[in-house]
Every structure is written in structure tokens, then in C-alpha cells.
């Protein structure tokens, strides 16, 4: 049955290849939810490629779906295949530009967006993408040309206001950026990054009440947004509301468990507030994912000490010292754990001696959170 569906799907695709993609519709029942439509579409495209189809459009469509799933590696492989098979299609380069932009590979993303433009693509969406990438590549003057092109195409496009605000931030006009972003909110088209930027900017300016106000407005529209929930945690932490901050940060991790730097931050916050069992659990999670991240072993050892698990603490310290043998802090911690074991008559199952091992590489976790630069103000009284 699935093979029959894939064949019919291919027939529907084949007819659409001769028409504008704006009219392109997948042969999926309308009653299906989006996630189900994506799943069924992906299975059908996999079957078509399995049947030996070499049509570039099939790889393009599969790349789009992989990108929706967040499968960046697979999406990039498919769009590269599509480009190899049809190197003059601007849509393929545009999708690759968006994919690379989402991965933070801004120079490569910009060159692909420019390749789409050079192949005849013209749209407000491309102008916005080029403006965004030019800003990220430090080419503000060029970006402003595309911002105005996009504004001319649609003066009520909230994303254009977002880019205008970013341009003002770079020019150190913080108040101007806030005014632009606030005006964008009156257009009635909610856009998460604007709430995020307003909240961020007020936070960095020390206006925590205003930061919290716009954070709440954003979360009302985008309940599960990662950055807004992270902002909420930052605000609570700054206000000394540690338990509320931890709830917000754990909400972020429930949405995106890959944020290792946040797991570390939560662990340290637990430790500072004497939730040692919970802190240790966070650090062990990081160790399981990044076994060569040396500093986490020391933190896990401190937690174990606080929990009076001295042999476990010593083993964490031992692992750390074998990677950084010249660090006196680690050696002191190891010796302290040994002393506490003997003082409390804790039986040892290990030799208790430091062993010189090869120092391993330490890949740092990817930091996904970056604040925009904000020009300090001489006076904050005019900010609302």
C-alpha cells in the first residue's frame, strides 16, 4: 500500500514540476495533522528515492521536510544533491541559505542567498534573508538597501521592523531600536524575536520591570518559545527568585534538552542554593554527553562531597586530575576527598593514587544563547 501511495505521490509531483511551486501541493489527505503530513510525505519521498528517482525536486522537498524536523545534516545533504542535479535553480540556493543561517554559518549562508539572487530570484523574503545575513556578517550599509527593498514590498511586514531595529542597535541607537520594535507590535502580527529583543534590551539596561512586561506579552503569544522562557529565568534569577528561575530554565530544557550550557547553569544554580542531589544529577547528565569536559568532574565532585559520598567525589576528582595534572585545585580536592574517606572510615574500592594519563581534548558545548550589544545609557528615566 505504501509503495502504491509513493507511486501516486510521484505522479502528482511530476505534474507539479512543470508548474510554479506556488501551486505545488502534496497528495496528502487534508484531514492529516501537520506532523502526520510531514511524516507521510517524508516516507513517500524516501520511497521515491529508493525507487531510483534522480529528480532534483524530490531531494529539494525532502530537504525542506528534514529542515522542519530539525535534521540539519540530512537536510544539507539533500539540498546539496538537489543543487548538484540542478545548479541553476535559485530556490535550492535559497533553502540552503536558510538552513545554514539557522546553523549559524553566516558567511556560507550569505553566499548561497546571493547565489539565489544572481540566478534571478526576487522576493521580499529573499530581501529579508539577505538583510539579516548581511547584518550578521557586519555589512550594515548593504543590509539597509535590502531592508528598504523589503519595506517597499510590504510596509506592514513585522520582520522588516525587526531588521530595522537590529540596524539601530548596531548604530548604537538603543532607544530608536526599542521604538521601532514597539511599533512593530502594533501591527497585530506577533513575531517572537521582537518580544525577545525588547525583553533582552531592557534586561541589559537594568529595566527589569519592563523586561518582564514584554517577556510576559511574548509568552502569552508563544508559550513554548525557548528564548522567551530562558529570558524569564534570567529575570527571576536577577530578582533573587531562584526557585522560579529554576522552573523557567527547566521549562526550556523540557522543550530543548540539547542545551548543555543551560544544564550546567541549572546545576550550578542548584549547587549555590544547596540542592546538591539535583545539582549532581545535572552535572552527571553533562558528563554522559560530554565525557571530556573536564570542569564538570570537579563540580560533580563538590556535589558528592556535600552529600558525604567521599569515594564518589574522589573518583570525579581523579578523572579531572588525570586530564589536567598540573592544576593544584584539583589535586587539593582529590587529597581532601582521600582525607575525608579516612576520617570517616569510608571503605575504598580503588587504589586512591593519582595516575598520569593522557590529557584528552575538551570539546566545549555549543552556546546557543547570545545577547545583542546594547549601548549604555546615561539616563534610564526616559525608558518605559
What are the pLDDT digits (tens) for 206-223? 999 999 999 999 999 999
Report the chain's mean pLDDT, rounded to a whole number: 82
**Domain 257-374 classification at class level:** mainly alpha
Residues 6+ away with beta carbon under 8 Å from 213: none
What is the model's pLDDT at position 291?
87
What is the model's pLDDT at position 211?
95
What are the pLDDT digits (tens) for 24-49? 344 444 445 556 666 667 677 766 67
Instruction: For helices 310-323 and 294-306, give the axis angle rounded to 10 degrees.
Output: 160
How far, in Å, CA of 128 to CA of 141, rounded?
Answer: 14
What is the model's pLDDT at position 68?
84
What is the model's pLDDT at position 326?
78
- Range with the poorest average pLDDT among 142-146, 256-260, 366-370: 366-370
Closest CA to 99 of 73, 138, 127: 73
How far, in Å, CA of 9 to CA of 117, rounded?
Answer: 31
How far, in Å, CA of 23 to CA of 233, rounded?
Answer: 44
What are the pLDDT digits (tens) for 187-213? 988 899 999 999 999 999 999 999 999
Q: How many other C-beta atoms lie within 10 A of the C-beta of residue 146? A: 24
Amino acid at each position: 500500500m505504501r509503495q502504491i501511495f509513493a507511486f501516486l505521490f510521484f505522479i502528482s509531483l511530476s505534474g507539479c514540476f512543470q508548474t510554479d511551486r506556488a501551486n505545488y501541493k502534496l497528495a496528502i489527505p487534508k484531514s492529516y495533522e501537520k506532523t502526520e503530513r510531514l511524516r507521510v510525505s517524508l516516507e513517500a519521498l524516501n520511497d521515491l528515492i529508493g525507487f531510483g528517482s534522480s529528480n532534483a525536486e524530490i531531494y529539494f522537498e525532502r530537504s525542506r521536510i528534514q529542515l522542519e524536523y530539525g535534521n540539519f545534516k540530512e537536510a544539507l545533504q539533500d539540498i546539496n544533491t538537489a543543487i548538484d542535479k540542478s545548479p541553476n535553480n535559485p530556490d535550492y540556493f535559497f533553502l540552503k541559505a536558510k538552513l545554514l543561517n539557522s546553523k549559524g554559518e553566516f558567511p556560507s549562508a550569505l553566499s548561497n542567498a546571493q547565489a539565489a539572487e544572481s540566478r534571478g530570484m526576487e522576493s521580499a523574503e529573499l530581501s529579508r534573508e539577505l538583510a539579516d545575513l548581511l547584518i550578521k556578517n557586519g555589512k550594515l550599509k548593504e543590509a539597509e538597501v535590502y531592508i528598504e527593498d523589503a519595506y517597499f514590498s510590504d510596509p506592514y511586514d513585522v520582520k522588516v521592523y525587526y531588521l530595522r531595529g537590529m540596524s539601530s542597535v548596531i548604530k548604537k541607537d538603543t532607544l530608536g531600536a526599542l521604538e521601532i520594535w514597539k511599533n512593530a507590535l502594533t501591527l497585530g502580527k506577533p513575531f517572537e524575536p521582537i518580544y525577545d529583543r525588547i525583553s533582552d534590551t531592557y534586561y541589559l539596561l537594568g529595566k527589569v520591570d519592563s523586561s518582564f512586561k514584554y517577556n510576559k506579552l511574548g509568552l502569552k503569544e508563544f508559550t513554548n518559545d525557548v528564548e522567551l522562557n530562558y529570558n524569564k529565568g534570567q529575570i527571576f534569577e536577577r530578582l533573587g527568585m531562584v526557585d522560579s528561575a529554576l522552573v523557567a530554565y527547566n521549562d526550556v530544557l523540557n522543550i530543548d534538552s540539547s542545551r548543555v550550557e543551560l544544564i550546567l547553569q541549572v546545576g550550578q544554580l542548584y549547587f549555590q542554593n544547596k540542592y546538591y542531589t539535583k545539582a549532581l544529577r545535572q552535572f552527571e547528565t553533562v558528563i554522559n554527553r560530554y565525557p571530556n569536559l573536564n570542569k564538570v568532574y570537579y563540580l560533580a565532585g563538590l556535589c558528592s562531597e556535600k552529600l558525604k559520598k567521599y569515594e564518589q567525589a574522589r573518583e570525579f576528582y581523579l578523572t579531572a586530575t588525570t586530564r589536567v595534572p598540573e592544576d593544584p585545585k584539583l589535586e587539593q580536592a582529590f587529597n581532601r576527598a582521600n582525607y575525608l574517606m579516612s576520617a570517616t572510615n569510608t571503605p575504598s574500592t580503588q587504589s586512591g593514587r593519582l595516575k598520569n594519563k593522557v590529557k584528552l581534548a575538551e570539546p566545549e558545548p555549543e552556546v546557543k544563547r547570545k545577547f545583542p550589544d546594547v549601548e549604555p545609557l546615561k539616563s534610564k528615566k526616559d525608558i518605559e
